Copies of this chain bind each other. A is one copy, B any other.
Amino acid sequence: MEALRFAFFEVSYLLYPFSPINMNPESISLASISRVPDLIRSRHPLVHCLTNDVVKNFTANTLLAMQAAPAMVEHPTEAGEFAAIADAMLANVGTLIEEQIQAIRQAVSAANRARKPWVLDPVAAGAISLRTGFARELCGMNPTLIRGNASEIMALAGVSGKGRGVDSGNASDEAVDAAKRLSTSASCVVMVTGEVDYITDGNRLFGCMNGDILLTRVTGVGCAQGAIAAACLSVCEDPIEAALAAAVIIGIAGEKAAAISQRPGSFQIALLDELDSIDARTILEMGRIQAF
């Protein structure tokens, strides 16, 4: 799968005006991550979001704030056709209906055929049975990245957690072992979000310590992080780097927005403004990542 990803980026290098960054995927650093916002701004990756009804507007606005191009295409007949055109895809299972389940299946198959990266966000997996089964099915369809909170990742790894609706009942560090296991079984990178965001490919483990508690007071920040991660995947060679970039970008924007407002309404607006303003210098100054 990793080999296939590299093959994808080598092919895409020929087909796209996109040059992959960070040719040595072992050397993830703030320096390499700091380049990601400008890459997104120059390439405007088209991100196909099959996501939940609650967050579609906010997700699109976060992508536009970063100058990525959001698109939501929901009909099963169109979703596959569009996934092949888009640069990256997000499958978020937050408000599944039957037609969206079919659309996601089509889009995932098409993204895989076209060798486009895609993110699985298994919202509330473990808490409810239908989506848990569907998220497990998607884990077997070669996602590039799975992004979830501790309870969701633990549920997908077969470890019993304490999820309650969309909220995690577990701290992210409780889920590190589950994330490694899931990463190995699904052959993809796994990101566990929480006070620390952990990212692993089964061997390497990184953490991002950026963020602010107010990020949990606006609906869809986690879901938007999945969409931003998809945008990052389209401009980064290494999925670990892309996931880490998404964590750092949202985390720093959240810290800066919290410095502007401690109230959730105005914080949400400030967050979009900060996603627009984030640049390499800010990431080098404020980014807090760690290799374990």
Binding site for B on A (CB under 8 A): 46, 48, 52-58, 60-61, 64-65, 67, 69-75, 77-78, 81-82, 85-86, 94-99, 124, 127-131, 164-167, 216-220, 261, 263-266, 268-273, 276-277
Cβ contact within 8 Å between A273 and B266: yes
Q: A69-B164, A69-B167, A74-B53 are in contact. Are A265 and B61 (CB under 8 A)?
A: yes
Contacting pair B265 A57 (CB below 8 A): no
- Assess whether B74 is in contact with A97, with CB atoms less than 8 Å apart: yes
A164 to chain B, nearest CB (A): 6
A101 nearest CB neighbor, chain B only: B75
Docked CA distance A130–B270 (Å) = 38
List the B side residues contacting A219 at CB < 8 Å: 57, 60-61, 64, 70
What's the number of copies of this chain in the assembled complex?
Answer: 3
Chain B residues near A166 (CB-CB < 8 A):
69-71
Complex interface: chain B residues within 8 A of A57 (CB) = 54-58, 219-220
Complex contacts, A266 vs chain B, CB 8 Å? 269-270, 272-273
Tell whether A46 pairs with B78 under 8 Å between CB atoms, given A61-B219, A61-B268, A127-B85: no
Are B273 and A85 in contact, with the CB atoms below 8 A?
Answer: no
Interchain CB contact under 8 A, B75 and A98 = yes
A57 vs chain B, min Cβ distance (A)? 6
A55-B57, A261-B273 given; 6 more Cβ-contact pairs under 8 Å: A54-B57, A54-B70, A57-B57, A65-B264, A71-B166, A98-B99
Nearest CB of B to A75, in Å:
5
Contact A64 B265 (CB under 8 A): no
For A78, list chain B residues within 8 Å (CB).
96, 128-131
Contact residues in B for A273 (Cβ distance below 8 Å) = 261, 263-266
Interface centre among A77, A81, A220, A272 (most CB of B within 10 A): A272
State the Cβ distance, A211 to closest chain B Cβ, in Å.
16
Complex CA gap A268/B276 in Å reads: 13
